[in-house]
Amino acid sequence: MAISSTQAIPATQAVPQHVAIIMDGNGRWATRRHLPRTAGHAKGVQAVRRVVEACGRRGVRYLTLFAFSSENWRRPPEEVSLLMRLFVQALEREVDKLNEQGVRLHVVGDMSRFEPRLQALIADAQVRTAANDRLHLSVAANYGGRWDILQATRAMLSQHPELARDPQRIDESHLAEHLSMAWAPEPDLFIRTGGEQRISNFLIWQLAYAELYFTDQYWPDFGAAELDAAFEWYRTRERRFGRTSAQLREDAAR
């Protein structure tokens, strides 16, 4: 299981190893151009391609994209259907390209609400890219951080019913090993486009010690240059994980 930032000090590198992104601003990008909001989502898929490619080239190992939150079902039905169609199209069209780039696809979230055809395409795409290891691309779909913690709690208690009778024995790792991305390290860098500064029920457990980067750019305008700007900012951050700056300097001098 990956190292927990609250239980140990994770190794850090100049290039973030795990980048998590809230791809916000598709609707406003389209509205500014007098286009339907759905045109912004279609353009957003192109930005996904650019960022996946750039992350692979820069040595990022894990990229997690928030494509559809548990709360996005509240949107107008035609926008929800368009987003579902985009997922289906992307899964049908992009798998060969992901394989060429050594990208392993994971879809994380509660799949049970998706129509069977989409569930089957997701399962197939995950199997077809399972041998790749260069970049792990996780698409969070019908995902919510609270859902994740709840499903992990249920799974933990099913596996260890004795813990319910002795809750003092429960430690972080009991729960964390059942989170939907237990196999990945925690995100080093969180990026949110579109000007809002919130986490919106994304990876709320896993973002405990992530560096948070917010930009006003809309997601369809995001690409390699904007990613590099975020990485440059990331390099300036002092990641202390609860320690003092003096301790970091002492460690570096050793």
Q: Which of the stretches 56-64, 82-90, 125-133, 151-159 binds ligand FPP when contact is defined by CB under 6 A?
A: 82-90
Distances 249 to 16, 20, 91, 254 between C-alpha atoms, Å: 21, 28, 47, 9
19 binds ligand FPP (CB under 6 A): no
Q: Which of the stretches 23-31, 170-178, 197-205, 232-240 binds ligand FPP when contact is defined by CB under 6 A?
A: 23-31
Query: Can you tell me which of 25, 56, 145, 187 binds ligand FPP, judged by CB under 6 A?
Result: 25
Q: Which of the stretches 37-45, 52-60, 109-117, 177-185 binds ligand FPP when contact is defined by CB under 6 A?
A: 37-45
- On whether 146 is known to bind a ligand per the annotation, the reply is no
20 binds ligand FPP (CB under 6 A): no
Alpha-carbon distance 103 to 86, whole Å? 19
Whether the CB-CB separation of 25 and 215 falls below 8 Å is answered with: no
Instruction: Write down the catalytic residue from 24, 142, 148, 188.
Output: 24
24 an active-site residue?
yes
Give the containing element (helix H, strand E) for 20: strand 18-22
State the nearest-atom distance from the C-beta of 145 to ligand FPP, in Å: 15
Distances 145 to 13, 48, 142, 148, 237 between C-alpha atoms, Å: 26, 22, 10, 5, 25
Alpha-carbon distance 117 to 39, whole Å? 24
171 an active-site residue?
no
Q: Which of the stretches 38-46, 99-107, 125-133, 197-205 binds ligand FPP when contact is defined by CB under 6 A?
A: 38-46
Alpha-carbon distance 38 to 22, whole Å? 17
State the nearest-atom distance from the C-beta of 137 to ligand FPP, in Å: 9
State the nearest-atom distance from the C-beta of 31 to ligand FPP, in Å: 7
DSSP characters for 22-85? Answer: E---HHHHHHHTT--HHHHHHHHHHHHHHHHHHHHHHT--EEEEEEEEGGGGGS-HHHHHHHHH
Using CB under 6 A as the binding rule, the residues of this chain from 117 to 156 that contact ligand FPP are 139
Whether the CB-CB separation of 135 and 48 falls below 8 Å is answered with: no
Alpha-carbon distance 248 to 242, whole Å? 11
90 binds ligand FPP (CB under 6 A): yes
DSSP lists the bridge partners of residue 63 as 19, 137
Using CB under 6 A as the binding rule, the residues of this chain from 94 to 113 that contact ligand FPP are none
Q: Which sequence positions are flagged as catalytic? A: 24, 72
Residues annotated within a binding site for substrate: 25-29, 37, 41, 69-71, 73, 75, 192, 198-200
Give me the residues that bind ligand FPP (CB under 6 A), please. 23-28, 41, 44-45, 48, 65, 67, 72, 83, 86-87, 90, 139, 194, 219
